[in-house]
Chain A
Amino acid sequence: MIEANGLTKVYGAKTAVAGASFTVRAGQVTGFLGPNGAGKSTTMRMIMGLDRPTSGSVTVNGLPYVRHKAPLREVGALLDAKAVHTSRSAYNHLLAMAATHGIPRSRVHEVIEMTGLEAVARKKAGGFSLGMGQRLGIAAALLGDPRTLILDEPVNGLDPEGVVWVRNLVRYLAGQGRTVFLSSHLMSEMAQTADHLIVIGRGRVIADAPMQDIITGRGQERTKVRTDEPVRLTQLLAGRGASVAHRESDLLEVSGLDPRAIAGTALENQIMVYELTPLVASLEEAYMELTKDDVEYHSLPAAEAAK
């Protein structure tokens, strides 16, 4: 459980995070989505006590991270794949991290095996590919078997198998009741991994809602309708408050009415309909619209739905 309250970070003239408040709950994967420079990494560094908030506060499992007696056993974090001394081997890096908490050597071997680093564990971390660096960072995050995991762009630089591996790993960990907070600027990745989504843009939380609500909750559910009598059906649907776009000679795109109401209208008026397809907005579309620009931040339905 992570709770941020009015979290703000100002660097000189630039406000990186502006009063972010949100809660990340246990037992699910919470995605933290936003364009580059939106304040995701800064927020995560503040959660981990590395950056001091200008104002506001954030707690993990009820306490500020710094005040936990055994921080690595509470929270594991991958903040940056390069948070490693380049001349030290992966094994020694993990061993030194484990030593701070009295975590046994056997656990170091376990996380190395879990992350598939056996072959390179004795090599200098500086020579690692981005993907190997990510695996090492994830291994370090898992060392303390923590209740909460914070992963900043974990799939960045991973090959497709690695991406699937991370996705399975975080879903598995969340399934065990752990809190998983995962940032990405890749919407498609989030759509497949996260249960809940916090969208951030220019340092502000612009949406905080279950994944499904973000995708569909924008009010504009559209339906593809194929019929022999498009003109008559258009008039009838418009009469019931729908807005209809005539896409092809026999194809309409209807918004403002659900498929059942459309079918009902057609049935009452003896109009044959031979396709009725709900169009699910992709997360990508939702995201693009959410982050379009500053002005729209406060007026979006999703942002309101999230309150």
Chain B
Amino acid sequence: MSPTATEPVPPREPAPSDSPPASRHSGRPLPGPTFLRVLNSEAIKFRSLLSTLILLASTAAVMVGFGALSAWGTGQFAGAAARDPQAAARITAQGGDLAVSVPTSGIAFAQLILGSLGVLLMSSEFTTGMARSTFTAVPRRLPAFAAKLVVVMATSFVVTAVSTWVAGLVAVPILDSYGLKLDPGSSQSVKLLLVNSAYVAAVAAIGLALGTLLRNSAGGIMSLVGIFFVAPIAFQLIPGDFFKEARKYLPGNTVDSLAAAEHVPDTLEAWQAAVVLGAWVLIPLLLAAVLLKRRDV
């Protein structure tokens, strides 16, 4: 215990006002939690945790690392294809552009990391007890939830976009050495960057909803892994047309449809994929908002 802590209070009490407490508020325009203030508070909370920063840095590292690996692998594959007419024909059928998707190769891992960040952002409030402070300061609760949503979605979008861009810059010289061209400024490159970043932001939102619903870090992350990693594989393994069809409607399968240069047969149209992903985001978020408002903290 610090030696300064035990002095009697009145001498070291500069703050409580001399004016009577009842009249203190008069003339002060907006003393309470406006949305911008709550957003600022959530931003402070977000960046003052080491774990958050580690997850963001890991995302960038994974995106850039996989971009580089993928550039190397694509170069090898293209080299082999050049000697194999059939493979060359397949590549041409796909628009001839293997290189364009290289910068976003790490997206499956980015979505898992940033989705988990979404889960943790709310579940840790409940596991540590912070929720009692948060919802005492913002007793209406939903502004704090919305602020967290804005913070985690914006950060996820920006981190994914920037690391995709950097991954592209790293990939260009590697692809170049195999005679492949990647133009990070081409319209399809930019589309891929934007769609994938928005997709990861959506996954982070789903994570936040899961964390709010389950209030448990392990449970939330496992649910996320279940939806994005286990279900697609399970649906593929289970025989029958129903699961084959249902698999299209899993959120993890929407990103390819959204980013495709042209519609690929037997997949969702881009607008359908947008609706499906939107539903995967909005329904859990609404459910989470309703329950957050209703349940005891």
Contact = CB atoms under 8 A, between A and B. Distances in A.
**Chain A partners chain B:** yes
Contacts of B13: 114, 172
B2 A116 contact: yes
Contact of B48 (A73, A92, A140): A92
Given A84-B129, A113-B12, A177-B20, A100 B2 contact: no
Contacts of A118: 2, 4
A289 interface: no
A96 interface: yes
B89 interface: no
Interface residues of A, number: 66
B186 interface: no
Interface string A50-81: 11100000000000011011111100010110
Contact of B33 (A51, A77, A100, A140): A100
Given A69-B31, A111-B15, A168-B8, A88 B137 contact: no
Interface residues of B, number: 53
A93 B133 contact: yes
Contact of A70 (B10, B21, B31): B31
User: Shortest 4 CB-CB distances between A and B: which pairs?
Assistant: A116-B5, A70-B32, A161-B6, A70-B31
B21 A162 contact: no
B167 to A, nearest CB: 30
Contacts of B33: 70-71, 100-101
Contacts of A259: none
B132 A80 contact: yes
A145 B16 contact: yes
A51 B49 contact: no
Nearest to A160: B6
Contacts of A173: 16
A79 B24 CA distance: 25
Contacts of B129: 80, 82-84
A99 interface: yes
Contacts of B139: 48-49, 65-66, 68, 71
B54 to A, nearest CB: 11
14 contacts: A49-B136, A50-B135, A51-B296, A70-B33, A73-B25, A73-B32, A83-B129, A84-B128, A84-B133, A92-B48, A101-B33, A147-B22, A165-B6, A172-B10
Nearest to A165: B6
B77 to A, nearest CB: 43
A38 to B, nearest CB: 18
Interface string B11-50: 0111111001110110000111110011011101100111
A88 B9 contact: no
Scoring A71, A110, A113, A162 by chain B CB atoms within 10 A of each residue's CB, the highest score goes to A71
Contacts of B22: 147, 177
B132 A79 contact: yes
A135 to B, nearest CB: 7
Given A100-B33, A172-B9, A89 B48 contact: yes
B40 A50 contact: no
A176 B51 contact: no
A116 B6 contact: yes
Contacts of A111: 15
A100 B9 contact: no
A132 B45 CA distance: 20
B253 interface: no
A61 to B, nearest CB: 9
Given A48-B136, A68-B32, A96-B45, A162 B297 contact: no
Contact of A97 (B15, B124, B125, B133): B133
Contacts of A89: 48
Contacts of B8: 165, 168
A86 B4 contact: no
Given A84-B128, A85-B49, A162 B1 contact: yes
A120 interface: yes
B137 A70 contact: no
Given A49-B139, A50-B132, A101-B137, A135 B5 contact: yes
Contacts of B132: 45, 50, 79-80, 83
Contacts of B48: 88-89, 92, 95-96
